[in-house]
Chain A
């Protein structure tokens, strides 16, 4: 794949993930404010999230969006600071995406299934 095509598709992926994150962040913040102002305890919150396919799907999508969005943006920042793109940066960003995905999905599993690993 040419650099032009890769960059064009990465731009598209970043814009699409940004649109998803915009919704996810608003829902997440609203949920947190409602939960805290409503006086829910951690146990009560976990009681609602555990076994919930809806919350698992929502935060799963949230994590996917983050794992896609952040490495693409970081890739551009690192490349600009170094003055050039390289295969090494792409590999490092793929690894960063994998770490974000693993940590995020682990957290989602913890609050929706009770299993942290």
Chain B
């Protein structure tokens, strides 16, 4: 039978004794990397820990490092990444490993909160709908960034996150950018102050790994560039004290 040689990360972080373990998995047509991981867990070693939910690229929970690159495993066909029949599957980089392929996502989502990623309404339920022109510059900027599902592929691919642990990262900054362009939001200045500085948009080196690897084809690099312009304007006008 045609088989795949699969190396899967087992255990905790490398410093805690984690490392790769090899498995042989039958190769089948239209097989995804998630299918491979599931085969190992169901048929070879039931102690393998990994996350998934929807299996169709909607939830973002199955992101892992596949042959050195962060990907959604449910939407990655084996034939596109393992032409030579070899696969290496590891947990997402830049996040603490809990066990096997499962990472601790708290830091990632805490940074969304630190970037003030929550919508702060200015209206009440008694107000009419806020008119937002679909063709307006702000609405188009929101449209370009709003489809993020928080899979952390960008965060895992970002070099700056790797060397600056305080850096908010592409996803949190991308989220902040959608709110900066939301005319209904009432915390623009606080948010701009939160995303400026050494841990915010000014730390970005424009390597564009986030944009290159986003499975939703979003461009966090463009969002971060927008935040740099917005924070500069806010600093000049005194909106950031």
Contact = CB atoms under 8 A, between A and B. Distances in A.
Interface of A: 1-5, 7-9, 11-12, 15, 76, 79-80, 83-85
A54 B196 CA distance: 39
24 contacts: A1-B241, A2-B240, A2-B241, A3-B197, A4-B196, A4-B235, A5-B196, A5-B241, A7-B196, A7-B197, A7-B198, A8-B197, A8-B228, A8-B232, A8-B235, A9-B232, A9-B235, A11-B202, A11-B228, A11-B231, A11-B232, A12-B235, A15-B232, A79-B198
B235 A5 contact: yes
Contacts of A8: 196-197, 202, 228, 231-232, 234-235, 240
Interface string B28-69: 000000000000000000000000000000000000000000
A9 B198 contact: no
Interface of chain B: mostly helix, strand, loop or mixed: helix
Interface of B: 163-164, 192-194, 196-198, 200, 202, 228, 231-232, 234-236, 240-241
Interface-centre pick from B164, B198, B236 (highest chain A CB count, 10 A): B198
Contacts of B202: 7-8, 11, 76
B236 A4 contact: no
A93 B169 CA distance: 27
B173 to A, nearest CB: 14
Contacts of A4: 192-194, 196-197, 200, 231, 235, 240
Contacts of A83: 164
A34 to B, nearest CB: 34
